Amino acid sequence: MRDRDQLLSSKAAARKLGVHESRIRALAAHDRLGASKLGGRWVIDSNALAREMQGSRERGRPYDPKNAFALLFLASDEEPNWIRADVRSRLQRRLAEGSLKRDLPRLRGRARRVALRAGEPALKAIQKDREFIRSGVSGAIEYGADIAALGVIEGYYPAAKLATIVYRYALRQVDEAQANLIVHELGDRIPFGKRSIMPPAVVAIDLLEAGDARSRRAGQRLLRSIEAN
């Protein structure tokens, strides 16, 4: 039997791994992290978590946001006009080496994923804002992904705008299962242009990072269809 001192709560494990708590629960449900349930809650083996962290480091350093988005735009056959030609060539070579799913840990730094509970006025304000770019479950249907989340809005939004909305409407950060607003908070100003939806590879990766298994399966299928073309 493992010593209780070796066990971490899912919240503590999420802090150490630098991901949302829902991601830890998803890994636990897939028999990762040496997880087990104690009193109805997931507990994580600290040694298994350390191995996961080491594996993440060995898979490579995270991409900075501009390069992460550039890689995903290239995978979607769109031109990322904010990067240099030499960086573009390097990212193209990376794409030629294998699946984007392999790079999932390195792509997480592109934006901070925030799960919120919002009232109708806040949702309407965000949907009307031209700087809000749909993705994940809000963009999936545009690319034929078999997923729909009624009443949930997901997309990318500048950090300053999000801070204003959170303050104005007193939004609450919640577990992803209770959220009706998933925001990928953009820290860097990247010239995405006047677009209302992210490219398909961005949508696929956002689905793969979701806390629920159905969204992740839809993300896998969408990613396979992108890479098959």
Q: Which two tokens stand for residue 189?
A: 């100003």
Rounded to whole angstroms, the Cα distance separating 185 from 113 reads 6
Average pLDDT of span 188-206 = 92
Is the separation of the CB atoms in 94 and 69 below 8 Å? no
Rounded to whole angstroms, the Cα distance separating 135 from 152 reads 11
Q: Is 113 exposed, middle or buried (0-12, 13-18, 19+ CB in 10 A)?
A: buried
pLDDT value of position 83: 93
Average pLDDT of span 140-163 = 87
Q: Is the pLDDT of residue 82 over 80?
A: yes
**How high is the mean pLDDT of the chain?**
86
Bridge partners (DSSP) of residue 41 are 38
Average pLDDT of span 101-115 = 88
Q: How confident is the model at residue 93 (pLDDT cuts 50, 70, 90)?
A: very high
- pLDDT tens for residues 211-227? 888 889 999 999 999 98
pLDDT value of position 38: 77
pLDDT value of position 10: 84
0.85 surpassed by pTM: no
Rounded to whole angstroms, the Cα distance separating 219 from 210 reads 9
Task: Tell me the domain boundaries of the chain.
Answer: 4-58, 109-228
Rounded to whole angstroms, the Cα distance separating 51 from 125 reads 43
Q: How confident is the model at residue 25 (pLDDT cuts 50, 70, 90)?
A: confident
Helix axes 159-169, 120-128, angle to 10 degrees: 150
CA-based nearest residue to 165, from 188, 181, 149, 150: 181
In terms of average pLDDT, the best of 22-36, 74-88, 91-105, 181-195 is 74-88
pLDDT value of position 1: 38
Q: How confident is the model at residue 58 (pLDDT cuts 50, 70, 90)?
A: very low
DSSP strands (E only) in the chain: 7-9, 36-38, 41-45, 112-117, 133-134, 153-158, 172-173, 181-186
Which of 49-53, 144-148, 184-188 is the least confident region? 49-53
Q: Comparing 18 with 123, which gets the higher pLDDT?
A: 123
